[in-house]
Structure 1
């Protein structure tokens, strides 16, 4: 059976697919399987790869792509979150105020994203992805930021803790600073996550680590846990609007999760810097593609 204009295809003249319906789930599974491997090796979330690549090169309506991108990122977070909490890596006192702010902003972002025409969404997504590429190129990481003194807000909220660093077999005491500006930043991070269906790990870690001064491992683990709340809030908006299509979601989630398992096994044997540069190149190309697609220069 051929589908001239499937319900989940992008709208507009010349965008109908003539391939059999079952081809797309199969191709999605293969692409997301590779994405899952690369995401682990490069230390990025699957959502930030999924949305620009699938939205730019597949004939799917962007509403469905963004909904799938949120659920892809959410799946990884739900799988990792409980273990991170048990190990004391993800910190609830740090996560809860951030989650409240980012979740509310993500709902607003999802509602705005669903009202925008596809061309505007694609253009904005292209700009956002190119900005993420720039952040990945220039952002540095600090294993143990030097926080001399907690600020008043973090002291009131008692955002501090101790975790055991297995590599050095010692307990690490940590605290944060610049809490007001850090929490304010999550308004924009949550809004972007909901609007573009990207997940937010690409922005969570730099803000928690470099701006607020949380240790890198605490930042990464808390960011992974945060996706479960931020992306769930935005995903419900897309579910309520009927933008969640099993034909896109199911192969994508299965592919990402199976690929992640392979990526974990390859992580010790692969140069992360080389993989990260590959991701930057792929994201850069996808960002340019989305931008030109939105501007109708490269349909």
Structure 2
């Protein structure tokens, strides 16, 4: 056991040296500049993500991979921990206030977690040029989703399907704006399980979490109220991203020099973003996020094609 520990420590030290050497190889830039720049950048990403209501990792991976000289595998591994940290900080409060339902989380998490492991292995086996092309297409598609999708606060649904009734999925939460309890349930759960298997593969492959996809599927397809969709999505990430993150960690693709400043920056930034949320204009922030996603997506696509 001690021997395995020293082997792991040696492997981690070697990988860290490689990452530092890669950063230090940038002409005229000392290696320590990059972790500090990463801390500051993720702080800003955390603010914007909190204001726009999106997961930090969906901005983190394309932006960091576009502007920082770290290996793409290390960035994707850290991206999962960024999403995981945000989820773990929010999930307990959401469950306590009935804005997330374990009866809905568990079946979706089982499917998404299993498929995220497949996605993680797939992502680590594909060439980085192919992954960057696919990431560029995905991020550009997410930007389009933000432009054209319109969430429904209280969607109208039909009769719950047999699976949703068997699992007794539903509940109630207090809505301050109306001063009443809102009762809810879902339908089309089998179709949702199929989509969440695909979402899990994407989350594990690119390390971007899946909040951008979880919320529309929960809200528009399954018919969960918007607050339940957001709360359930955050709780789902705590399980789904953990499964994929272990694969990256076991393969040596999670480095403290990248992950620690990223998690600290995103957590502090998100807290600041939450505090200024009341005075910010959501529509303006949404446009900023869309522009950032389009820029990062196109840059990743060009880099994968060897044109940037």
Q: TM-score range by the shorter chain?
A: over 0.9
The 3-state SS of whatever aligns with 1:214 is: coil
Please say if residues 93 and 159 of structure 1, whose CA atoms lie closer than 8 Å, have aligned partners that are also in contact.
yes
Please point out which of 10, 18, 42 is paired with 1:7.
Answer: 18
**Structure 1 unaligned blocks of 5 or more:** none
**Structure 2 unaligned blocks of 5 or more:** 1-15
1:62 is matched with which residue? Answer: 72
The 3-state SS of whatever aligns with 1:141 is: coil
Q: 1:9, CA displacement in angstroms?
A: 6.8
Distance 1:138 1:16 in 2: 42
Q: 1:167, CA displacement in angstroms?
A: 1.8
Please point out which of 76, 81, 86 is paired with 1:71.
Answer: 81
Give the root-mean-square deviation of aligned CA atoms.
1.6
Query: 1:87-125, CA deviations, whole angstroms, 9 ceiling, x for partnerless residues?
Result: 111100010000000000100000000011111111111
2:265 is matched with which residue? Answer: 255
Please say if residues 6 and 16 of structure 1, whose CA atoms lie closer than 8 Å, have aligned partners that are also in contact.
no
Say yes or no: does 1:225 pair with 2:241: no
Q: 1:148, CA displacement in angstroms?
A: 2.9
Distance 2:233 2:67 in 1: 28
Please say if residues 10 and 59 of structure 1, whose CA atoms lie closer than 8 Å, have aligned partners that are also in contact.
no
Say yes or no: does 1:89 pair with 2:99: yes
Distance 2:88 2:159 in 1: 33
Distance 2:271 2:144 in 1: 28
TM-score by length of 2: 0.92
Q: In structure 2, do the counterparts of structure 1 residues 40 and 34 end up closer, same or farther at CA, with 3 Å as the change threshold?
A: same
TM-score by length of 1: 0.95
Say yes or no: does 1:134 pair with 2:144: yes
1:17 is matched with which residue? Answer: 26
Q: 1:6, CA displacement in angstroms?
A: 5.5
The 3-state SS of whatever aligns with 1:207 is: helix
Alignment length (residue pairs): 292
Please point out which of 208, 218, 221 is paired with 1:208.
Answer: 218
Alignment of 1:258-297 (within 5 A): 258-297=268-307
The 3-state SS of whatever aligns with 1:162 is: strand
2:7 is matched with which residue? Answer: none
